[in-house]
Amino acid sequence: MKLYELVGVDKTQGFSPYVWRIKMALAHKGLEAEMVPLGFTDIKDTLDFADSKTVPVLVDGDNIIKDSWDIACYLEAAYPDSPSIFGGSVAKAQARLLNHQITLPLLVPFFKILVADIYDLLNDEDKDYFRRTREPRLGCTIEETIEARPKLLASVKQNLWPYNKCLEEQHFFGGDEPAFSDYIMYGIFQWARGTSNIKILQEDQPLYKWRTKMDNLYDGYGATLVSR
């Protein structure tokens, strides 16, 4: 099995939130994949065979799967005898909602908070590509996002409220045990950990304690990503 992931200059430190979901899902199922590190400008040509412009892409024998949600569904169906990633069809339906729900309140502001630090991790060719593609989306230069960080951090903290509240009442988003909903959320915090030293969570928050539990899963797999 091969999993294609996104890296900067350091090819050992994959930082894509979408790839981390799948890394955790593979660990959940006790599966191992060979990681294939790609820079932003490698993605298009390398993943042409998969008809994908983004990572993650998973190759499992003759099966080529793109998009993190579809990869999770594939793993669940292809490996029914190992622990369920979703924990049942209702939980899967709810994870699908979470997958979309986090986009505007979390992924978008996280991206704006992290974008300048992500830029710093890239090689020169990827830096050019990243600036050219991201600045039109941001509506400002990468450098100008730094000024907006305090405001964005305040809105992220507010948008994290339901997730903190939920974790006051249960151990994981999956309930008593971690499930794909947890990996979707954890991917966002891995993205932040691997790219920036900005502190997003406070020690007294349920999400902070949950992240520590997530770090400790599967022999501390998530914590192998170096904090910036």
How many residues at the interface with ligand GSH, by CB under 6 A? 12
3-state DSSP of 92-104: HHHHHHHHHHCHH
From first CA to last CA, the distance across the chain in angstroms is 29
Under the binding rule (CB under 6 A), the answer on residue 196 touching ligand GSH is no
Tokens of 50: 């998969």
CB of 139 to ligand GSH, least distance (A): 17
**Candidates 10-18, 86-94, 193-201, 210-218 — which segment interacts with ligand GSH by CB under 6 A?**
10-18
Under the binding rule (CB under 6 A), the answer on residue 54 touching ligand GSH is yes
Applying the rule CB under 6 A, the residues between 64 and 83 that interact with ligand GSH are 67-69
Tell me phi and psi for residue 166, to 5 degrees.
-60, -40
Q: Name the residue number minimizing CB distance to ligand GSH.
A: 54
Tell me phi and psi for residue 122, to 5 degrees.
-90, 155
User: Based on CB atoms, which residue is closest to ligand GSH, 94 or 195?
Assistant: 195
| Cβ atoms of 75 and 26 closer than 8 Å | yes
User: Based on CB atoms, which residue is closest to ligand GSH, 43 or 167?
Assistant: 43
CB of 12 to ligand GSH, least distance (A): 17
CB of 174 to ligand GSH, least distance (A): 19
Tell me phi and psi for residue 57, to 5 degrees.
-130, 135
Q: In whole angstroms, what is the distance from residue 138 CA to residue 130 CA?
A: 11
Under the binding rule (CB under 6 A), the answer on residue 189 touching ligand GSH is no
User: Based on CB atoms, which residue is closest to ligand GSH, 41 or 159?
Assistant: 41
At residue 141's C-alpha, the angle toward residues 160 and 133, to 5°, is 85
Going by the DSSP 8-state scheme, the letter that residue 107 receives in this structure is I
User: Based on CB atoms, which residue is closest to ligand GSH, 167 or 193?
Assistant: 193
CA nearest neighbour of 68 among 21, 32, 31: 21
Tokens of 57: 């892409």
Under the binding rule (CB under 6 A), the answer on residue 40 touching ligand GSH is yes
User: Based on CB atoms, which residue is closest to ligand GSH, 21 or 206?
Assistant: 21
User: Based on CB atoms, which residue is closest to ligand GSH, 172 or 191?
Assistant: 191
Alpha-helix runs per DSSP H in the chain: 17-28, 40-46, 68-78, 89-101, 108-121, 124-138, 145-159, 161-169, 180-195, 206-220
Under the binding rule (CB under 6 A), the answer on residue 46 touching ligand GSH is no
Under the binding rule (CB under 6 A), the answer on residue 114 touching ligand GSH is no
CB of 209 to ligand GSH, least distance (A): 26
Chain residues binding ligand GSH by CB under 6 A are 6, 16-18, 40, 43, 54-56, 67-69
